């Protein structure tokens, strides 16, 4: 452990790369939109784009506001860590791989547990697939920073972590397009590409829960969640959302969770509602089981009456 802890005022927080990149990102979105309009492809929907942009702009503001909080978390874990990794060119590479590994598991868990799915569903509830979809990041997704605490504890300089984390977020932008087909094999094998991510955004049964990789697709290959793109995916979620209201798009799953929690009868049901698989309707299953039990009881009583008669 470092004898002299670093303080927030001792450090340069560095640039907010996401805010700097925003104008270029919007420009590329409009270029893609223009190309799709000229080619008469159904790639964009005006209301869908406006909803995504509103969600993205609010999210960018939240990111700017909590920049110090994220940096402060990295600083806290750096100060309590017994390790020290100097801020050199190779530490940026090492940190980026560590961040991407954490992003894989954070992303995967966000699809496997309903509580975390509520922080992520906003990104998937569009039936379109274009660059603007990258803006659809839930305003509650920032709580997933806890998945990166182990990386912070590894002893990376907080500035190194912060830059790597932002670059990893920015990488997501370009893979949300149908205009980039499959790339050369070495790239497709190692990096997450638009082809891989199109599969991830599919609602087709055979494509579900695949290709969680953020920058590197190697984690999916290692942990059995990889699937190559074959036919064109059907985008969106299995229970489509038709609203274009940004507030609804961000919070509808949270509202449904609280409604289910209000109907829960015990701690076990509360736990299953929060951390069970998304779509696994605990309340509906219990109600069906109760109805079936009542039906069986009624049938048994009827048979008993026939025997008595």
Angstrom distance (rounded) from CA 306 to CA 138 = 60
Whether residue 151 is predicted with pLDDT greater than 70 in this model: the reply is yes
Q: Compute the C-alpha angle 56/173/112, nearest 5°.
A: 80
Q: For residues 49 and 33, is the Cβ–Cβ distance under 8 A?
A: yes
Distances (CA, A) of 163 to 60, 157, 170, 209: 16, 10, 11, 29
Average pLDDT over every residue of 211-215: 98
Which residue ranges make up each domain of the chain? 8-247, 255-308
pLDDT in tens, 79-101: 999 999 999 999 999 999 999 99
Predicted confidence band of residue 1 (pLDDT cuts 50, 70, 90): very low
Angstrom distance (rounded) from CA 18 to CA 170 = 7
Angstrom distance (rounded) from CA 300 to CA 294 = 10
Q: For residues 126 and 198, is the Cβ–Cβ distance under 8 A?
A: no
Angstrom distance (rounded) from CA 28 to CA 46 = 16
Q: For residues 174 and 288, is the Cβ–Cβ distance under 8 A?
A: no
Whether residue 265 is predicted with pLDDT greater than 80 in this model: the reply is yes
The total number of residues shown for the chain amounts to 309
Q: What is the pTM of this model?
A: 0.89
Angstrom distance (rounded) from CA 13 to CA 163 = 9
């Amino acid at each position: 452990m470092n004898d002299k802890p670093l303080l927030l005022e001792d450090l340069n927080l560095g640039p907010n790369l996401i805010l700097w990149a925003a104008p270029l990102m919007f420009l590329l979105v409009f270029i893609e939109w223009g190309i799709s309009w000229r080619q008469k492809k159904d790639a964009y929907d005006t209301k869908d784009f406006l909803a995504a942009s509103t969600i993205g702009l609010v999210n960018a503001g939240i990111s700017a506001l909590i920049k110090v909080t994220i940096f402060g978390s990295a600083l806290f874990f750096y100060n309590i860590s017994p390790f020290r990794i100097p801020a050199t060119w190779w530490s940026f590479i090492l940190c980026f791989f560590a961040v991407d590994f954490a992003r894989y598991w954070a992303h995967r868990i966000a699809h496997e547990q309903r509580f975390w799915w509520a922080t992520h569903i906003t990104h998937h509830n569009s039936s379109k697939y274009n660059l603007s979809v990258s803006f659809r990041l839930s305003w509650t997704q920032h709580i997933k920073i806890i998945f990166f605490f182990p990386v912070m504890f590894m002893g990376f300089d907080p500035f190194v972590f912060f830059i790597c984390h932002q670059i990893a977020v920015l990488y997501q932008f370009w893979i949300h397009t149908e205009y980039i087909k499959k790339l050369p094999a070495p790239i497709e094998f190692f990096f997450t590409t638009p082809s891989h991510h199109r599969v991830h955004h599919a609602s087709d049964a055979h494509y579900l829960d695949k290709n969680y990789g953020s920058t590197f697709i190697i984690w999916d290959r290692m942990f059995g969640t990889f699937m190559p793109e074959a036919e064109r995916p059907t985008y969106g979620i299995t229970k489509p959302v038709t609203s274009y209201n940004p507030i609804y798009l961000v919070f509808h799953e949270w509202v449904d969770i609280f409604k289910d929690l209000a109907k829960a009868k015990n701690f076990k049901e509360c736990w299953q509602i929060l951390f069970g698989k998304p779509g696994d309707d605990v309340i509906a299953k219990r109600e069906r089981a109760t109805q079936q039990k009542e039906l069986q009881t009624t049938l048994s009583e009827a048979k008993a009456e026939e025997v008595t008669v």
